[in-house]
């Protein structure tokens, strides 16, 4: 019995060192540690890839940016230029943007308010550009008689055929409390002191020497029906000699201190004076500064 125990102890002594020194057993213990370290990173990448793909997929499925229905560009210098590209755009939206850029009211008739526009043009001056948008176009202008001044639109109206024209005072309204409309002076005088005026077929002939500006303009107003706005403290005298000129050109030649409002009917090619205003020199400087 004692020999059996000693033999068992001797066998155990031989087996235990062999187990500790065995390379196969050592690899079986260490290999899991070496395998788990590099495997961690691929697992992280695989976990991230679905999220990235989801984000890309969300971006790809987002709604594409819509192109605006129209693009309008306005250049305002001595001459107004307009560029417009529209694809089935509401004319009311175009008119609103045009009014904002020109700083001028743009009104549409009831028929034109329902219209849409598909059009493309670039750098077209104001009047032909408006004729591309509507059959009938009316433009009210403010024209300064000072040298170098340019007409300024103060109202644009777009209409269809068989619609009434806008009211004469739709945008041009007088502001003065007094209107001076005087007739010819009574009594006879020398020919050089008289105001001679005639208005036929849209042409004005006027001759006056050293006459009060108010009297000359009042004679024009009486003869043509154009409204006159003035203050009674105007003391300027004028001498004019005009023969057969269109009414708007003739009025602007009377004095450098006038402002004329007229309406251009582009369909009929007519220009109708609406209002004559006498502008004091000190006020004119402020007006030119504001418009420049």
How does the average pLDDT of the chain come out, rounded? 79
pLDDT in tens, 174-212: 655 445 454 444 444 444 458 999 999 999 999 999 999
What pLDDT band is residue 89 in, cutting at 50, 70 and 90?
very high
pLDDT of amino acid 14: 58
Over the stretch 106-132, which tens digit does the pLDDT of each residue have? 999 999 999 999 999 999 999 999 999
Of residues 79 and 292, the one with the higher pLDDT is 79
Phi-psi region of 236 (alpha: psi -120 to 50; beta: other; left: phi over 0): beta
CA of residue 42 relative to chain centroid, distance: 59
pLDDT for the residue numbered 182? 41
Give CA–CA dist 103/123, Å, rounded.
Answer: 18
* pLDDT at position 78: 80
Q: Is the pLDDT of residue 27 over 50?
A: no
pLDDT of 170 > 90? The answer is: no
User: Taking residues 210-235, what's their average pLDDT?
Assistant: 91
**Spatial distance between the Cα atoms of 222 and 140, rounded to a whole number of angstroms:** 22
Nearest partner of 173 among 287, 257, 270, 274, judged by Cα: 274
pLDDT above 70 coverage of the chain, percent: 67
Q: What's the predicted TM-score (pTM) here?
A: 0.70
Average pLDDT over residues 134-150: 93
């Amino acid at each position: 019995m004692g020999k059996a125990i000693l033999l068992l102890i001797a066998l155990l002594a031989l087996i235990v060192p062999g187990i500790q020194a065995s390379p196969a057993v050592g690899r079986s213990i260490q290999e899991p540690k070496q395998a788990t370290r590099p495997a961690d990173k691929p697992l992280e990448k695989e976990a991230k890839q679905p999220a990235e793909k989801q984000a890309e997929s969300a971006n790809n499925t987002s709604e594409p940016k819509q192109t605006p229905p129209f693009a309008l560009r306005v250049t305002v210098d001595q001459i107004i230029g307009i560029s417009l590209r529209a694809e089935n755009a509401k004319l009311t939206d175009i008119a609103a943007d045009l009014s904002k850029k020109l700083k001028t009211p743009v009104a549409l008739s009831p028929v034109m308010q329902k219209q849409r526009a598909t059009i493309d043009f670039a750098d077209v001056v104001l009047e032909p550009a408006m004729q591309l948008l509507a059959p009938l176009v009316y433009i009210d202008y403010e024209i300064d008689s000072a040298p170098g001044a340019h007409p300024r639109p103060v109202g644009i109206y777009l209409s269809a055929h068989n619609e009434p024209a806008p009211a004469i005072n739709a945008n041009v309204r007088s502001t003065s409390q007094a209107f001076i409309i005087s007739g010819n002076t009574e009594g006879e005088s020398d020919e050089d002191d008289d105001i001679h005026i005639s208005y036929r077929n849209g042409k004005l002939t006027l001759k006056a020497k050293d006459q009060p500006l108010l009297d000359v303009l009042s004679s024009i107003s009486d003869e043509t029906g154009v409204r006159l706005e003035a203050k009674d403290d105007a003391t300027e005298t004028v001498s004019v000699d005009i023969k057969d000129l269109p009414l708007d050109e003739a009025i602007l030649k009377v004095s450098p201190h006038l402002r004329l409002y007229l309406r251009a009917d582009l369909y009929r090619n007519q220009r109708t004076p609406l209002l004559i205003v006498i502008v004091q020199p000190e006020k004119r400087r402020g007006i030119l500064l504001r418009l420049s």
